Amino acid sequence: MSVRRRLGVSPKSDQDGRVREFEAQDAAASVFAPREDDHKYRRGVAAFVTGSTHYPGAAVLGTRAALATGIGMVRYSGGESETKAVLWQSPEVVADLASFDALVVGSGVDPKDVRRTSEAREALDRARELDATVIADSGALGQIAKRVLGGHHVRRCILTPHAAELAALITKLEDTEVRASDVIKEPEQAVRLVTDRLGCTLVLKGHRTYIAGDGPTIIVDAPGAWLATAGTGDVLAGAMGALSAVASKREVAEQPEPQQLAAAAVWLHARAGWFASQVNAGNTAAAADLLAPIEQLQRHGPGSPIRASDATAVLPRLVGALVASKIRA
């Protein structure tokens, strides 16, 4: 890959306008309060084919994050053990894929897991029938790329790899070995390459997250490194699924582009991590949203990392604040 810009150059110094930063008001444009005539279906339905026998936690975190972000209904499809885990944590989840507006697929799915991979494929077929947005994470990244290249129509697709997953995806697409270190050195080249090839929004996760789509690449910098723990990516995919499902039920003119939606989820998620970290630093915050970080603070003391479930706990408060900021505007 040729280098046009390297990580470390401030996006503000970008000369050709290909990169832009994303602020709270941008995120607010992708967050919608429920309307009086909403019901569970009109508010938006997100379906999850995530988690597996080995990784039931990914299923729990994603579905919890979607519920925390705000959604009409969450559906889940999986094997007995992961379904039990999801329903135990969130009894509001409906265990089927009857209808949905957005599909989150792949978190906690090993591509070598034949059963889950085949279930993911069936869910992608269903998403196609329903014209639903697809958020493909982890184990579903290769599968969605294959489908798009094979001419399968996906109305809106958002891919959420970390650097190693993006390197593996590019290696497949370009038939040339690309390593995570190459992606980390040239992130904008990497995201642009895949977006242009597949026509999907590409979210390269990290401390600085790059979101490539139809517009200039968006950058969201995390306010701290608190999200560098297992499972926070599963939370991000769940939040993105909820925002996508809800937005898809609005008037067409109101609907944000997938790139904006994806960036809004990244922004919320990064701030949720920051919010939770404030408790770890000893500051106070709204108690009900922060029970998990408080519990963690008591157990581990200031400076301990934030668990994915802590980010889930503060999502509703952040979403509410964004909605309120829009109502005031």
Ligand X SMILES: NC(=O)C1=CN([C@@H]2O[C@H](COP(=O)(O)OP(=O)(O)OC[C@H]3O[C@@H](n4cnc5c(N)ncnc54)[C@H](O)[C@@H]3O)[C@@H](O)[C@H]2O)[C@@H](O)CC1
Ligand Y SMILES: Nc1ncnc2c1ncn2[C@@H]1O[C@H](COP(=O)(O)OP(=O)(O)O)[C@@H](O)[C@H]1O
CB of 247 to ligand X, least distance (A): 24
Q: Which letter does DSSP use for residue 122 in this model?
A: H
Q: Determine the Cα–Cα distance for residues 294 and 310; give it in Å rounded to an integer.
A: 9
CB of 236 to ligand Y, least distance (A): 4
Residue whose CB is less far from ligand Y, 206 or 216? 206
Contact 116, 89 (CB under 8 A): no
Q: Taken in order 276, 279, 285, 291, is the CA torsion positive or negative?
A: positive
Q: Which of 144, 200, 212, 222 binds ligand Y (CB under 6 A)?
A: 222
Residue 55 interacts, among ligand X, ligand Y, none and using kind-specific CB cut-offs from 5 to 8 Å, with: ligand X
- The angle subtended at Cα 119 by Cα 115 and Cα 121, nearest 5°, is 120
Asked if 105 touches ligand Y (CB under 6 A), the answer is no
Q: Is 42 annotated for ligand binding?
A: no
CB of 173 to ligand Y, least distance (A): 20
Q: Which of 44, 57, 258, 305 binds ligand X (CB under 6 A)?
A: 57
Asked if 206 touches ligand Y (CB under 6 A), the answer is yes
Q: Determine the Cα–Cα distance for residues 59 and 57; give it in Å rounded to an integer.
A: 5
Q: Determine the Cα–Cα distance for residues 302 and 277; give it in Å rounded to an integer.
A: 9
Contact 59, 76 (CB under 8 A): yes
Which residue's Cβ lies closest to ligand X?
57
> Hey, is 137 helix, strand or coil?
coil
- Burial label, 208 (beta-carbon count in 10 A; 0-12, 13-18, 19+): middle
Q: Which of 200, 227, 245, 318 binds ligand Y (CB under 6 A)?
A: 227
Q: Which letter does DSSP use for residue 79 in this model?
A: -
Q: Which of 30, 138, 260, 312 binds ligand X (CB under 6 A)?
A: 138
Asked if 162 touches ligand X (CB under 6 A), the answer is yes
* Residues counted in the chain: 329
Q: Determine the Cα–Cα distance for residues 329 and 322; give it in Å rounded to an integer.
A: 11
Stretch that binds ligand X, among 156-164, 251-259, 281-289, 312-320 (CB under 6 A): 156-164
Asked if 305 touches ligand Y (CB under 6 A), the answer is no
Stretch that binds ligand X, among 126-134, 158-166, 185-193, 283-291 (CB under 6 A): 158-166
Contact 104, 240 (CB under 8 A): yes
Residue whose CB is less far from ligand X, 234 or 289? 234
Contact 294, 285 (CB under 8 A): no
Q: Is 39 annotated for ligand binding?
A: no
Q: Is 209 annotated for ligand binding?
A: yes
Contact 200, 176 (CB under 8 A): no
Residues 154-183 that bind ligand Y (CB under 6 A): 162
Residues at the interface with ligand Y (CB under 6 A): 162, 205-207, 209, 222, 225, 227-228, 230-234, 236, 269
Binding site for (6S)-NADPHX: what residues are annotated? 58, 108, 162, 234
Which residues are near ligand X by CB under 6 A?
55, 57-58, 107-109, 138-139, 162-165, 180, 206, 230-231, 233-234
